[in-house]
């Protein structure tokens, strides 16, 4: 997990035993984000091989979507399970910040009127058009030419040690890339990322994804800047540490797998969740596309499984964040409460 990747293990060892570093030789644990191999996956279909650039283009403006091969586009669309309705025509000519939602004191406050029956629409709007600090970060990603350093400079330099998470220390499990993290200077950014985790957990069952916010399931994502477009996004990974089960999931993933009750079943197809920030245009006022929150279905008959997931890791259904663009940071949402749940964000 994280920006760096451990040394590549042999494919034979990966298939027979696991793709993780053996728990007996290290205090860290591998997750389903295994080391990436440079492999070539040749397509025998008449349509060109799909790419993550195609995927992101389809979730952009109508003009961007039109650049994708029609057959590829149709296959992708059958693998999109939206947690918020997809509205490519919802882009506004000029975002009116006076009517935007905002985050204050870790809670969203509605700056404009909201009826009693508009809760669903309210959260949809938070994805389509997030609070101003999120829009500003999305603008920064584009204006900086896709420079991760521009995002890094928005972090508070205060170092925050990562505490125990649900007994992880006792299990010698290191969930994060580093034993310390940071947060954004702007508190609304931190709260918004935390809210994304909560929305995924709350709305996942509507598309067949039942996830829990815990150290074995959904607790992290990878913030990236997309290739070419400069669009800001987060690739979340759920089902991170499935329970070892002979004949079903016979893979030893180290210390962090101990105690897991995450079942390896068809829901693994849905473990990759993508958030895309609204996409700004070259104008300071114009926006090309609203935000997106979608589960990427990697079922074996689909184009995501066949064209985007390397063959050697298909059993894990892992999409790699660095295939989407320049990886900036990991975002970790951990339950660090001793007796009662207490979730905190750590950026590593």
pLDDT of 246-264, one tens digit each?
A: 999 999 999 999 999 999 9
| 90 or 251, which is more confident | 251
Q: How far apart are CA 36 and CA 289, in angstroms?
A: 31
**Structure-token pair, residue 343:** 């979730």
At residue 44, does pLDDT exceed 80?
Answer: no
HSE value, Cβ hemisphere, 13 Å, CA-based, for 96:
4
Pairing between strand 343-347 and 292-296? unpaired
At residue 286, does pLDDT exceed 70?
Answer: yes
Angle at 146 between CA 200 and CA 332, to 5 degrees: 30
pTM equals 0.85
pLDDT of 203-215, one tens digit each?
A: 999 999 999 999 9
DSSP element (H, E) containing 235: strand 232-237
């Amino acid at each position: 997990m994280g920006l760096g990747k451990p040394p590549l293990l042999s494919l034979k060892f990966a298939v027979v035993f696991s793709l993780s570093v053996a728990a007996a030789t290290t205090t860290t644990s591998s997750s389903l984000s295994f080391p990436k191999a440079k492999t070539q996956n040749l397509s025998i279909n008449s349509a060109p091989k799909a790419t993550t650039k195609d995927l992101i283009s389809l979730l952009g403006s109508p003009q961007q979507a039109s650049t994708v091969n029609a057959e590829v586009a149709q296959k992708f669309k059958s693998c999109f399970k939206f947690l918020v309705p997809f509205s490519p025509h919802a882009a506004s000519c000029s975002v009116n910040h006076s009517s935007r939602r905002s985050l204050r004191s870790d809670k969203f406050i509605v700056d404009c009127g909201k009826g009693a029956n508009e809760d669903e629409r309210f959260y949809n709007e938070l994805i389509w058009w997030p609070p101003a600090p999120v829009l500003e970060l999305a603008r920064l990603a584009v204006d900086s030419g896709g420079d991760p350093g521009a995002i890094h400079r928005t972090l508070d330099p205060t170092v925050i040690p990562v505490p125990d998470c649900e007994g992880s220390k006792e299990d010698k499990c290191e969930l994060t890339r580093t034993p310390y993290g940071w947060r954004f200077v702007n508190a609304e950014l931190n709260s918004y990322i935390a809210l994304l985790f909560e929305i995924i957990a709350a709305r996942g069952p509507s598309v067949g994804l039942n996830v829990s916010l815990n150290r074995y399931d959904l607790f992290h994502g990878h913030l990236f800047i997309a290739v070419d477009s400069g669009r800001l996004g987060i690739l979340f990974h759920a089902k991170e540490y499935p329970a070892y089960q002979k004949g079903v999931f016979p893979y030893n993933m180290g210390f962090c797998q101990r105690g897991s009750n995450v079942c390896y079943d068809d829901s693994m197809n849905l473990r990759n969740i993508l958030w895309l920030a609204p996409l700004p245009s070259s104008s300071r006022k114009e926006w090309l596309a609203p935000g997106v929150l979608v589960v990427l279905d990697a079922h074996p008959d689909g184009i995501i499984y066949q064209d985007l997931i390397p063959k050697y890791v298909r059993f894990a259904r892992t999409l790699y964040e660095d295939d989407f663009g320049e990886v900036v940071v990991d975002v970790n949402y951990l339950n660090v409460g001793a007796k009662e749940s207490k979730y905190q964000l750590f950026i590593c």
